[in-house]
Amino acid sequence: MPFFRKKTPDAEPLPDPEAPQPRRIRRRTVIAGAVGLVGVGAATAGYFTYLAPSGDVSRYAAHLVDDDRDLRAGEVRVTFLGTTTLLVDDGVTQLLFDAFLTDVPLTTALFGDLKTDEGKVDRTLAAVGADRVKAVFVSHSHYDHSLDAAYLTRKTGAVLHGSESTLNVGRGGGVPEERLAPYETGKPLRIGDFTVTVLASKHSPGTVGGDGTPITGPLAQPAKAGDYLEGGSFDFLVEHGGHSLLVKASAGFLPGGLDGVRADALFCGTAGSFGKDAAFREEFHREVVSTVDPKLFVPLHWNDFFTPVTGDLTANMKAVDDVAAAWDYLIARLEERRARFAVLQGYRAVILFGSPDRAA
């Protein structure tokens, strides 16, 4: 049975949590148009970027997927919340991987103070039915992965799992110590019917602040983007009922780090050198994709996270050609192994691990 059922997208705005909540946000396949002028610098600096046809995700309409039906026994729904944030749900227990729902414009990231937009987070949680979150796992502590970790943990009553840097983000945001859990890499952790194993990994090349640079004390908001140091990077093997998915937020790897790891589905960052460097792509494919051997590959970290996350996402405005290069390469290689490449728009979902005797 396929991992997902393909739908035809259209769109509507993120629902107000005070209004009756639909099960999903409708969608559309075509995303295009100018991104606009962004002013940076003292008074006059700025730049203009736009979505060229080569980077417009409408090119990949055949790969856009969503499934809004009710879960059946043994199935797991994964909903994409933008950048690398995922809600994983088996109908009883929900897990969040990464914690970035607040909209942060480029000028704020460069020159301003960052702070969780609690209203946006609340609306997003309501829109996707995130009302049973038991754990939050953060891949690394850059702001586009950890900014909302403290508020999400407090809001949902979950446990925040992370590196010491991520736990310092939690401490700075008022998460009590008993709900902070340091990573023990390689040790399976049971949460409901899920088993999560945290794996040591590596950020994509060009890490700001250097690989592993820690946040050494509680980080309170408001804070600068540069205060959110990487603090080490991690992958997550999520097992459920004899099936598994691997969440890999960054397109980086430790040589041999995934030896012996297999997963039915791979949710993987495709930003940075993956799109820029052909030699790196080949090495990443060998060390990660070929090793894990997924039947389904879902790209992460492709959308422009300097624009508001809604139901219709645009490709990273400074790297549309890199997105296309990464995706075209992956589609070709995955087809060789009879695996599928599936793109999730904002708040869209894919259902995994369906029984073969059920219709798609």
pLDDT band for position 208 (cuts 50, 70, 90): low
Cβ neighbours of 178 (radius 10 Å): 7
Let me know if residue 186 belongs to a domain.
yes
Q: In Å, how far from its chain's centre is CA 199?
A: 17
Taking every pair of Cα atoms in the chain, the longest distance, rounded to a whole number of angstroms, is 63
What's the pLDDT score for residue 210?
64
Tell me which of 32-41, 171-180, 198-207, 280-289 is least confident.
Answer: 32-41
- Rg of the chain, C-alpha, whole Å: 19
Tell me how far apart the alpha carbons of residues 10 and 106 are, in angstroms, rounded to a whole number.
27
Of 221 and 276, the structure prediction assigns the larger pLDDT to 221
**Is residue 7 one of the residues assigned to a domain?**
no
pLDDT at 227: 96
Q: Which domain holds residue 177?
A: 37-352
Give me the mean pLDDT over the 227-234 stretch.
Answer: 96
In the structure, what pLDDT confidence band is assigned to residue 57 with cuts at 50, 70 and 90?
confident
Q: Per the domain annotation, does 17 fall within a domain?
A: no
Annotate 143-201 with three-state secondary structure: HHHHCCHHHHHHHHCCEEEECHHHHHHHHHCCCCHHHEEECCCCCCEEECCEEEEEEEC
In a domain, 125, yes or no: yes
What does the pLDDT read at residue 48? 29
The predicted structure's pLDDT at residue 315: 82
- CATH code where residue 51 lies: 3.60.15.10
Mean pLDDT of 242-259: 96
| Count of structural domains within the chain | 1
**Residue 23 falls inside a structural domain:** no
Task: Specify whether the CB–CB gap between 105 and 171 falls below 8 A.
Answer: no
- CA separation for the pair 14, 80 (Å, rounded): 14
Instruction: Report if residue 357 sits inside a domain.
Output: no
Average pLDDT of the chain is 85
Q: Is residue 1 part of a domain?
A: no
pLDDT band at 76 (very low <50, low <70, confident <90, very high): very high
User: Is there a domain that residue 54 lies in?
Assistant: yes
Mean pLDDT (whole number) for 212-221: 96
Residues with Cβ within 8 Å of residue 18, at least 6 apart in sequence: none
- Read off the pLDDT of each residue in 119-146 and give the average, rounded to a whole number: 97
